[in-house]
Amino acid sequence: MTTQDTSTADALPQAGQAVETPDATPQRRPGRTARGVTISTAMSLVVRVVGIGIGMVTTSLLARTLAPAGYGALSLALTLVTAAAQTADLGIAVTAAARIAREDQASAGRTLSTGLAIRTTAALIAAAGLIGAALAGAFGGSSSVVAVTAIATPLSAAAVLTAGSTARFRPEVASVLALVQGALWFGAVLLIHTTKGSLLFLAWSFVAVTTLQTAIGLVLNRKVVPLGRPSLREVRGIFSVSWPLAVSSFAFTAYYRLDSLILFKARGATELGFYAAGYKFVDVAQIVPTILVAPLLPLAATSLAMDEGRRRTILSLATRMAAVVGVGVAGMLISLAPQLISIIYGAEFKPAVRPLVLLAIAYVGIPVGYVGSTILSALGKAKPIALVTVTVAGGSLIAQAWASVRWGATGAAAVTAVTQLAIGATYCVLATRAMRTRLPVAALLSSIFVMCVVVLPASVVNLPWIVEAVAVAVLMGGGLLLFRVITLADLRRVLARRAVS
């Protein structure tokens, strides 16, 4: 589930001109060095961190303006719009990104414009369905807000343009767009907060912000991969690969977005407000793994042409960095959960502390899941993704329906934790097989051990939150170095002047 207060899009990867041969020789222009990619990634991270700061201030204003019930109603609307946009993706962004990673500039432009045309069409259909359901009163008192925010759904199709910047090792483009949207959304929320505007006016503001962000995205992305003319032949090529990812997107939406709707129907807007408050931290933290997998996509797309040693190095570095991000963020959220809820949301949201702790545990599986799904998609292994996602979605929805009624936000968070950990572990195992190499199991287990050793005492010690945050960061960092989850050799690799594409 995601409230999407500061960002709208998501994307991943698939194949080149000859889909059946993912190890074909790339035909792209000369690429960037490892140092260049690292610098771009670091710049993206800095921009995203600034965006996170803006987003959390925005969230605090929203919570204090709307109270738990109003915040829950807005969260439901934004979640449904995000779900509709992700469903409309049909695996197009994933497929286009990996194809572009192997193509020259002219072919890349044709692929990108074809993907944009497909996704726009699907998004229009999804928006019509969501608006129709809202007008029929399917979402109770939140129906009018859902109907207005759904108008922005077709604009989400522009997110497919980030496939070009991802394939060209330009993660900073997506980061700048996220920052722009975050700043615009903050301005809209501040206006509502100071003028005591209505929830419906806030929904219209969301539509305006999305429109502006889309226009800016079109300008920025065309400098990386200019759009060409859509091609019917490209449509067939894309769909021949993306259909399992389309199935996955439906299942993903079911277990990752509809938990909000289930909880809303079971326990009402206030309980959903507590769940959304806890999930906001996890949702924002997903920015980090999206940056992590941006350079991984084009590397994975051509990895089968590499020797086994380099494939093992790429997989090891990616999964270990994912584990570091997962346990680092989770450890900090668990240790500081009461303080974070109090500072950002206020005393009214105190029941959100326990859901936040459980959702922090869920976060451990999210970065490794990103890595696994990116590798599988880049190598044309979409069918296993679909099988796993559909299977997990079925079990997760059944569990959510039961747990939400009995335990409300806490039950929903517990189901999410189990779901994300299972997804992350399964994707990593499948990705290892797809790359025909080995997974650094000892390092991954060591990272979890370090988190447990540091977090358990930190969660019971009562220290000022700044002191506790520094102590947790230092102890976890030292533990990860001690157990060689991260090493100096990793630093030398990512700063090398060797070309990566």
| Residue 421, C-beta contacts closer than 8 angstroms, at least 6 positions apart | 361, 362, 364, 365
State mean pLDDT over 88-109. Answer: 71
For residue 500, what pLDDT is reported? 56
Judged on CB neighbours under 10 Å (0-12, 13-18, 19+), 57 is middle
pLDDT at 30: 46
For residue 8, what pLDDT band results from cuts at 50, 70 and 90?
A: very low
pLDDT at residue 279 greater than cutoff 50: yes
Type of residue found at 420 = Q
The band of 453, judged by pLDDT with boundaries at 50, 70 and 90, is: very high
Residue-wise pLDDT tens digits, 182-215: 888 888 888 888 887 778 888 888 888 888 878 8
**What is the reported pLDDT for 408?**
92
Three-state helix/strand/coil letters over 406-467: HHHHHHHHHHHHHHHHHHHHHHHHHHHHHHCCCCCHHHHHHHHHHHHHHHHHHCCCCCCHHH
What are phi and psi for residue 356, nearest 5 degrees?
A: -60, -40
Q: Given pLDDT bands bounded at 50, 70 and 90, which one contains residue 411?
A: very high
Over residues 84-104, the mean pLDDT reads: 72
pLDDT digits (tens, 9 = 90+) for 119-140: 888 888 888 888 898 888 878 7
Closest CA to 37 of 181, 176, 216, 165: 165
Residue 425: HSE in the Cβ half-sphere, 13 Å Cα cutoff: 12
Residue 276 pLDDT? 87
pLDDT at 15: 30
pLDDT tens digits, 305-363: 788 888 888 899 989 999 999 999 999 999 999 999 988 888 888 999 999 999 999 99
Distance of CA 235 to the CA centre of its chain: 26
- Looking at the DSSP assignment, which residues form a beta bridge with residue 33? 499
Closest CA to 479 of 501, 462, 458: 458
DSSP code for 498: S
User: What are phi and psi for residue 499, nearest 5 degrees?
Assistant: -65, 140
- Asked if 199 and 75 count as a contact pair (C-beta separation under 8 A), the reply is no
Phi and psi angles of residue 32, each rounded to the nearest 5 degrees, phi first: -110, 160
Burial class (CB in 10 A: 0-12, 13-18, 19+), 205: buried
> Cβ–Cβ contacts within 10 Å for residue 106, how many?
10
Q: CB 42: neighbour CB atoms within 10 A?
A: 14
Which residues lie closer than 8 Å to 469 by C-beta, 6 or more apart?
332, 335, 336
What is the predicted pLDDT for the residue at 166? 64
- With a cut of 50, say whether residue 78 has pLDDT above it: yes
Name the pLDDT band for 16 (thresholds 50, 70, 90).
very low
Mean pLDDT of 282-310: 79
Q: Report pTM.
A: 0.68
Task: Please give the backbone phi and psi of residue 473, each rounded to the nearest 5 degrees, phi first.
Answer: -65, -45
List, in order, residues 6 or more apart from 214 with CB less than 8 Å away.
Answer: 155, 158
Name the one residue in this structure whose structure tokens are 């490892």.
Answer: 34
**Mean pLDDT of the 375-385 span:** 83
Q: Which residue has the higher pLDDT, 500 or 412?
A: 412
Winning range, highest mean pLDDT, from 46-55, 104-113, 384-393, 421-430: 421-430
pLDDT of residue 1 exceeding 60, the answer is no
Cα–Cα distance, 99 to 104 (Å, whole number): 10
More confident residue, 26 or 93: 93
pLDDT at res. 356: 95
**Burial profile 384-412: b = 16 or more Cβ within 10 angstroms, e = fewer:** bbbbbbbebbeebbebbbebbeebbbbbb
Q: Which two tokens stand for residue 279?
A: 């999930």
